[in-house]
Amino acid sequence: MSVTTLLRSLLAAVLMASATACGASSAPDVPVGTPAGPGGTETPRSADPEPVAAVMPDVIGGNAGRAHEQMGSGTDVTFRDASGRGRSVDDPAEWRICGSRPGPNRQITDYPVVLDVVRVSEDCADVVPR
């Protein structure tokens, strides 16, 4: 068997394993809060489930670029200059978070998530109150 044939077979096996792993779900079939075990009642899952609301992480004081990465690309985030000068936030990694909407550990029920930021070299104590 040539190296090329071996590599093709290996690649096909890896792709097949990846495709089948993507279809698997690690979520339990029992809704959260449903008692488990003897005597527990299970409610069947809906074919059209409600969207799950995320919780806003406590990112205040942190770097805006890292916070945006932490929340994931699927989260709609808007950066607002908290100094009141209306500056554009082109590179979030150069900005520090002074506040957020919603606040830390609150459910995200509305988008976009708003992060009030100042330049890394500035202090949040100098922020214009809103």
> Which burial class, exposed, middle or buried, applies to 82 when counting CB atoms under 10 A from its CB (0-12, 13-18, 19+)?
buried
Q: Among all chains, which residue has been given the structure tokens 């279809």?
A: 23
> Which burial class, exposed, middle or buried, applies to 38 when counting CB atoms under 10 A from its CB (0-12, 13-18, 19+)?
exposed
Low-confidence residues in the chain, pLDDT < 50 = 1, 3-7, 10-30, 32-37, 40-43
Cis peptide before 49 (omega within 30 of 0): no
The span from the CA of 63 to the CA of 117, in Å, is 9
Q: DSSP 3-state helix, strand, coil percentages of the chain (rounded to 5)? A: 25, 20, 55
> Which pLDDT does position 7 carry in this prediction?
41
> Which pLDDT does position 53 carry in this prediction?
66
User: With the C-alpha atoms ordered 84, 90, 96, 101, is the resulting torsion angle positive or negative?
Assistant: positive
> Which pLDDT does position 18 carry in this prediction?
43
> Which pLDDT does position 8 carry in this prediction?
52
